[in-house]
Every structure is written in structure tokens, then in C-alpha cells.
Amino acid sequence: MIWFFADVFYGINYDIPDIDPYFLSSFLVNSIFIGAGLYFLFQTIQKLKIKKLLSYGIIFCFILLPFIFLKKNYFEADKSKNYLAYDFVSNLMRSAKKDAIILTDVWDHYSPWLYLRYIEMKRPDVDYLDKELSRRSWYFDYVKMNYPDLYGTSQEEIKKFVKEVYPFENQLPFNPYVIEEAYNNMLNSFLVKNFGQKPIYDDMLIQTKIGKMFVKIPEGLVYSLKDSVKYYTFDFPDFQLRGIRDERIYKDDRTLNILKQYPLMIQARINYLTYFSQKSEVLKLQKNYLKYLTEAIQ
């Protein structure tokens, strides 16, 4: 009971859409309760004359129950053909040039990339930074270890931010405006100090003060940061899009929201090309991705 209620009270403190995994411990305890309840039932019916019939009835119901749940939940639970997250981050990496620096605020992009990078060892040249994890001082131990060049060029700004965020992380009096200023200066330094040395990309869905000094040019699934508005060539990658239009693969609202990035970014590139009268490239993109631009993903 302590385990059950501790898990429940811990989980209800989070207001996030993917809260279900936080209650896995409670589900496990609940299964123990079910087993104890069944044992109690069988002990109780031993005193009844129809105990054999009741026993068979209870056994039949509990054998049938998993099959009912299987039928009810199989469509949503079946991930055997679901490559949506894997393909999305793979396509995002296809959009970035060698030795790129990418700043993101989307955990749904960043978390599958962690698998791609550290399990499959793909694109070790890319410095992919999570803007929200950068709000915590411990994240920069990771940055220093994995991106030593990036850490070195912005070492002063990182140390300034870590100093300012220390009171917040240790329940001491703090000034939120000072922390926010140090935070923005640090993130902007990642972009400004490496501009012209490495390709710089924006993968942020929320407009912030980060990167305001640059022009955002749509290239694949990211925005390339440039210093002026003009036509920049870009070899648009052939996206791998397994299962996007397959309605037999379950897609929740969060997944559908992420998948909207495909038509949004393709259309943004088409608009950019149209502005600079690149008709042949526009026609090529429209031909390759017409159904994704004209039909809703379901």
C-alpha cells in the first residue's frame, strides 16, 4: 500500500501528456492486489455447496479477461511497424550538413536522436543540444564530455549561467531575470561564436530570444541560420516515410502533431523557392511530396 500510494502521489504532481508510465509501479501493485483478491475468493467459496461451479466460473472469467483486453488495446499497443520517431529524427539528421550544431526545444525530436546517436552510433559529427535541458547545470557536464569544442568556445558564458542558476537549484534566494539573461546569452553564444565555422540550425517550435540575430532558411526539417536573406542552394533529402499514411498504425495526437512538421517544412521550403523563382525545384518537391501536402496525415 505504501508503494502504491507513494507512486500515485508522486505521479499526480506532473501535468504532462505522457503521464501513464509514471504509474507502472501502481499497476504492478494492483496486479498483486488482484491475485490476493482471487485467493480470498477461492478460500471463501470453499464453504459453499456450489464451490466447484463457482471456481470454474471465476477461472473462466479471468482466463477470458486478458483476451478481451488484447482485442480492445491491440491496435494502440502494436508498435511492430511503427518507425515514425526513428524515421523523423533520421530525416532531421539528413537535413543537416556535416559538423552541424542544432538547437532544439522538442523532446520528441531529441529523445529518439539519443538512441540514434548512442546506440546506433550515427552522426557523431552533429552537436545536438536540448534547449530545455540547458536550463540545468548538470547538462553541461554532458556537453563538456561530448562537445568539447562547443563547450570551449562558450566556456565563459556557460560558467556565468551555472553560477547564476546555482541558487535556484539549491533552494536559495535567486533573481529569475538574471538567470534568464545568462541563459539566453549562453545559448546565443553557441550560435554566434560558431557561425561561419560550422553549419548552424534551429529546430525550435517555440519563438524565443534565441537566434534572433539570424535569418531562418527552411532546409529539410530544420531552419538553417544565415546572416542575410538570399537564395541558398540545398539538396533536399529523400525522406524515409514508413507508415505515415498507413492508418493501421496507431498515431496519437502528440504523434500527429509531430508529423505535421513534414508538410509544414516542405511547404516552407516551397514558399522560399517560389520567392526566389526556383521553379524547377518547386516542381520537384511538389511532385515528390504532393500527397503529404494535400492530404491530412491520419
Confidence grade of residue 50 (pLDDT, cut at 50, 70, 90): confident
The whole-number pLDDT of residue 208 equals 81
Looking at the fold, whether 29 and 166 belong to one and the same domain comes out as no
Residues 215, 128, single domain; the answer is: yes
Tell me: do 15 and 89 sit in the same domain: no
Read off the pLDDT of each residue in 150-163 and give the average, rounded to a whole number: 97
SS3 88: helix
Segment 73-82 long-range contacts (CB within 8 Å, at least 24 positions apart): 75/250, 76/250, 76/252, 77/250, 78/250, 81/242, 81/243, 81/246, 81/248, 81/249, 82/243, 82/249, 82/250
How many whole angstroms separate alpha carbon 102 and alpha carbon 245? 28
Q: How confident is residue 259, by pLDDT bands cut at 50, 70 and 90?
A: very high
Q: To the nearest whole number, what is the mean pLDDT of the chain?
A: 93
Average pLDDT over residues 173-195: 96
- Is there a contact between 122 and 129 (Cβ–Cβ < 8 Å)? no
Asked whether the beta carbons of 210 and 188 are under 8 A apart, the reply is yes
DSSP strand pairing (200-203 vs 127-130): unpaired
Q: Where are the beta strands (DSSP E) in the chain?
A: 101-104, 127-130, 200-203, 215-219, 222-226
89 with 72, same domain: the answer is no
CB-neighbour burial class of residue 104 (10 A; exposed 0-12, middle 13-18, buried 19+): buried
Task: Report the percentage of the chain scoring pLDDT > 70.
Answer: 100
- What pLDDT is attached to residue 228? 95
Query: Where is pLDDT greater, at 169 or 20?
Result: 169
Task: State whether 11 and 127 are in the same domain.
Answer: no
E-assigned strands of 154-246? 200-203, 215-219, 222-226
Same-domain pairing of 142 and 219: yes
Q: Once rounded to an integer, what is the mean pLDDT over residues 194-220? A: 93
Provide the whole-model pTM.
Answer: 0.86
**Residue range 57-65: mean pLDDT, rounded:** 86
DSSP string computed for 95-146: TSPTT-EEEE--HHHHHHHHHHHHTS---TT-EEEETTGGGSTTHHHHHHHH
Question: Is a pLDDT exceeding 90 seen at residue 101?
Answer: yes
What confidence score (pLDDT) does residue 26 get?
A: 93
User: Residue 213: what pLDDT?
Assistant: 93
pLDDT above 80 (res 229): yes
Q: Does the structure show a pLDDT above 90 at 209? A: no
Identify which of 201, 209, 220, 187 has the alpha carbon closest to the alpha carbon of residue 102.
201
Q: Give me the number of domains the chain comprises.
A: 2
Res 149: pLDDT: 95
Same domain, 34 and 101: no
152-156, 218-222, 244-248: least confident range: 244-248
Higher per-residue pLDDT: 48 or 254:
254
Q: What's the mean pLDDT in 48-55? A: 78
Indicate the residue among 60, 77, 94 that finishes a domain. Answer: 77
CA distance 204 to 187: 13
Domain that holds residue 287: 84-294
Query: Does residue 51 sit in the same domain as residue 177?
Result: no
With a cut of 90, say whether residue 52 has pLDDT above it.
no
Q: With b meaning 16 or more CB within 10 Å and e meaning fewer, what string describes 126-161?
A: bbbbbbebbbebebbeebeeebeebbebbeebbebb
Q: How far apart are CA 123 and CA 113, in angstroms?
A: 10
Note the pLDDT of residue 295.
85
